[in-house]
Amino acid sequence: MNKTLRRLAAVMMVMFVVLMGSATAIQFFQAEALNANPRNARAFTKQFNNARGPIVVGGVPIAESVPVDSSFGFQRVFGGGDPAIAEMYAHVTGYFSISRGTSGIERQENEFLNGQAPALWVDRVHNMLTGQVNRGSSVELTLDGFLQQVSWEAMNGQRGSVMAIDTRTGAIRSMVSYPSFDPNPLAVHSTSLANERYNEVLYSDHRPMDNRVLRQVHPPGSTFKMIVAAAALEAGYTINTQLPAPHRFRLPNTTHYLRNFGDRTCSPTGQGSMYELMVISCNTSFAMLALELGEDRIRDMAQRFGFGENFRVPMWSVASRFPEAGDAFTADRLALAAIGQGDVMVTPLVMGLMAAAIANDGVMMQPYLVQTIRDPNLEVIFEAEPQALRQVVSPEVAAGLTEMMIGSVRDWGSTGWRARIPGVDVAGKTGTAQTARGVAPHTWFTVFAPAEDPVIAVVVMIENGGHMGMDGTAASVAVPIAHRVLLAALGLDADGQPIGPVEPDPEAGGEQDDILPNEPAEQPEAGGDE
């Protein structure tokens, strides 16, 4: 009996030690992680009694906590309570919800915003001793408020996204995604009301909560030809190298023929220089060029430009896709990939980074949205420093790509001609990507300016032809939007003349798709395959 009791006592002692160890680990060692866990409703609810720091653009709060007379001390307000402004910034700020936690900057910078970051421990101790309300840090973004508004209005209610990025630093100057949502109804103090509004947005058509710049991938269309051209230039081709340009090209090991846009002929002689064929965006030429280069060169260049990589801005992007080595990637699929169709899928972020890297002598910069974080006394506790990620291509290759991109906007027959700015060389590349038979194509334009000394790169992606539907092409849908954003970023009017800062017209829609003087009635995008 005594032996049995001793064994039972020993087991109980072991269980007691395990229990105490577990409780200690949870309450002490895991306390910080548990408090920061967005599923910890109790810890999260406590934050509604804190003066959460503002998210700031150009000195103006686009998200802030205001005192309220309720059991919660503060109410989170987005866009100053104006739904239009709140929606314009929603995919950057994210939401702050009693029932759904946080997203966007609200999540990524939560420790600073709620005042719990290690760098703010002195403030927390002071507030505890004096009985003052805990205050969070302000997070100042890289966005330009005017450029954000111009980008938003230029989309004119079309599904898609716009991003503008400083080519020299990687600072994101505008990031717009449509459709969007108003975060204010999600920030109410009623769990049932917040849940109801969240579910309305979550299950509505076209996924308005998605940050389309970072979180959606689509076939890039002819914008991908820049990656094929980069691989060719690195392999010893020049922009003057003559390439075959057949009317149609039979895809290897199939009975299908690849055609140019509208079944047009790229050259009456059946060949042309890489420069000329880029300007008119010839499908057959670049499909054949990719086959000649081989999938390894194309894959390597795509990966250097960011395919397969998740970028943190500080929100994470999804990875763009190019088939991995060893995948069942047949020659016909490579030919389609060369024109941005088939197995290639990309985020607008990566297409913007591609243009920015070319503009920056081949150096890709780390993209970022947070410029400065200040403590409650407005002392700087974080200041972003531009960081180079890698040398994607040599300055010589970047110069060749730039020259072809300039021609793709400047020259007669070019697909990006609507982006011209008098007195400014603009470098861009269009893409019109088919998704399914009978479905309107996606339209792309990635561009930077001034080409001789670039400061800004813009990428526009409009889904399913925008307002033009099946008639939509990159030239008619995406290019005019980018043109308007470029003008605003460079401080120019439509005639290329400097202008002072002005308030944008809230009634203005997308830029009119007028035909420029002395231009042919139609200069179609040659991307896409049939």
Catalytic positions, written as ranges: 222
**Distance between CA atoms of residues 485 and 504, nearest Å:** 12
Backbone angles phi, psi at 173, to 5 degrees: -95, -25
Kindly report whether the peptide bond that precedes residue 348 is cis, defined as omega within 30 degrees of 0.
no
Any idea what DSSP says for residue 262? Answer: G
Closest CA to 528 of 430, 458, 461: 430
| Cβ contact 448:459 at 8 Å | no
**Distance between CA atoms of residues 351 and 42, nearest Å:** 41
- Cα-Cα-Cα-Cα dihedral of 21, 26, 31, 33, to 10°? 120
| Cβ contact 90:201 at 8 Å | no
| Cβ contact 98:189 at 8 Å | yes
| Cβ contact 219:434 at 8 Å | yes
**Distance between CA atoms of residues 219 and 528, nearest Å:** 10
Residues written for the chain: 530
- In sequence order, the β-bridge partners of residue 165 are 172, 457
